[in-house]
């Protein structure tokens, strides 16, 4: 029988920053909130509330004797030891689909910026360089767009593309309910060979880490555009720079990096010394557009994620009364 969670003070550990308005809603449900660095949090907290910055390891779980529930604001779980969480009897809820439309629209904006040289020409004009012909771009209806991963965000991107009369192909190893009107189903090899734009919408797992690497780039017969709105480790950065320098890529948009830890005081990325040169190449490459993991970061998605978290928490509370 589950222990009655209402029989003693209840604590939620806010391991990542969350808005005060959301914190107030948690307190209205009868929860006491503990900040990330509160020394009492690991021992007292029944619920852990995280975003994408807080890592969960098998060793850390051993230090959390009261933990029963993890609430993940977002979808990715690559920063968690899922096996250790399951073995510890801890339940995990994330918020699939809550930010899908936001990612789909952001991917459209990033792609338009690449194929129409919007970001590039903006920088040129601001430096008093006025070049029209060199910035002649492509219309989306000219391009075959390949989506790897047709889950929530990949499907949202495909739906956003419909109004542009594009040719869309997609690969998803695990999708069962395929809608042929959304995208033509192809094997990964065909997508990588024939698509002129490749957009990544897959989780980072042992199966997908470094999926886009030298071996993939070396097979290409034509230069392509690449978008990554999934996880940074799916694209090998060293291979990416090499592919750009060898002309395999026309342009890239990265919303994610393998290393996204930052200094909370300056908001500067804390880059590992061993990879500093590589990251500098990525950050400064003229054919790479970047954004700070904001693909799903809109006011609407924020509200939807918060509602999903509250609903999950309330459901869990009812189950454990």
For residue 272, the model assigns a pLDDT of 82
- H-only helix segments in the chain: 20-28, 41-44, 58-61, 82-87, 100-115, 118-126, 152-161, 188-194, 214-217, 237-245, 276-284, 299-319
Check: CB of residue 92 under 8 Å from CB of residue 70: yes
Dist. CA 104–CA 296, nearest whole Å: 8
Dist. CA 261–CA 268, nearest whole Å: 9
Structure pTM? 0.90
Architecture of the CATH domain 11-96+300-319: 3-Layer(aba) Sandwich (3.40)
Domain(s) labelled CATH 3.40.50.720 in the chain stretch across 11-96+300-319, 100-290
List pLDDT tens digits, range 82-97.
Answer: 999 999 999 999 999 9
For residue 155, the model assigns a pLDDT of 97
- Topology of domain 100-290, CATH: Rossmann fold (3.40.50)
* Residue 207 token pair: 């199966």
Closest CA to 232 of 248, 212, 207, 262: 212
Task: Tell me which residue has tokens 């999903």.
Answer: 308
For residue 242, the model assigns a pLDDT of 97
Residues 44-49 have a mean pLDDT of: 96
Closest CA to 275 of 216, 233, 317: 233
List pLDDT tens digits, range 9-41.
Answer: 799 999 988 999 999 999 999 999 999 999 999
Dist. CA 167–CA 146, nearest whole Å: 9
Is residue 5 over pLDDT 80? no
């Amino acid at each position: 029988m589950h222990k009655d969670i209402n029989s003693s003070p209840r604590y939620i550990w806010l391991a990542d920053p969350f808005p005060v308005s959301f914190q107030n809603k948690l307190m209205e449900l009868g929860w006491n909130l503990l900040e990330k660095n509160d020394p009492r949090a690991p021992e007292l907290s029944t619920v852990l509330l995280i975003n994408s910055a807080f890592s969960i390891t098998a060793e850390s779980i051993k230090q959390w004797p009261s933990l029963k529930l993890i609430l993940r604001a977002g979808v990715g779980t690559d920063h968690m030891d899922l096996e250790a969480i399951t073995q510890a009897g801890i339940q995990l809820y994330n918020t699939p689909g809550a930010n899908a439309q936001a990612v789909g629209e952001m991917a459209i904006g990033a792609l338009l910026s690449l194929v129409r040289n919007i970001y590039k020409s903006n920088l040129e004009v601001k430096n008093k360089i006025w070049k029209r012909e060199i910035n002649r771009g492509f219309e989306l209806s000219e391009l075959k767009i390949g989506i790897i991963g047709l889950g929530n965000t990949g499907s949202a991107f495909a739906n956003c593309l419909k109004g542009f009369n594009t040719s869309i192909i997609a690969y998803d190893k695990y999708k069962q309910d395929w809608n042929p009107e959304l995208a033509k189903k192809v094997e990964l090899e065909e997508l990588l060979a024939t698509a002129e734009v490749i957009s990544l919408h897959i989780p980072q797992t042992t199966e997908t880490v470094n999926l886009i690497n030298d071996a993939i780039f070396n097979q290409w017969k034509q230069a392509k555009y690449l978008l990554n709105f999934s996880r940074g480790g799916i694209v090998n950065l060293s291979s990416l720079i090499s592919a750009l320098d060898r002309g395999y890529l026309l342009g890239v948009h990265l919303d994610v990096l393998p290393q996204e830890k930052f200094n909370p005081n300056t908001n500067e990325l804390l880059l590992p010394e061993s990879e500093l040169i590589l990251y500098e190449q990525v950050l400064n490459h003229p054919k790479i557009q970047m954004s700070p993991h904001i693909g799903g970061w809109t006011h609407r998605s924020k509200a939807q994620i918060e509602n999903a978290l509250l609903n999950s928490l309330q459901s869990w509370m009812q189950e454990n009364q």
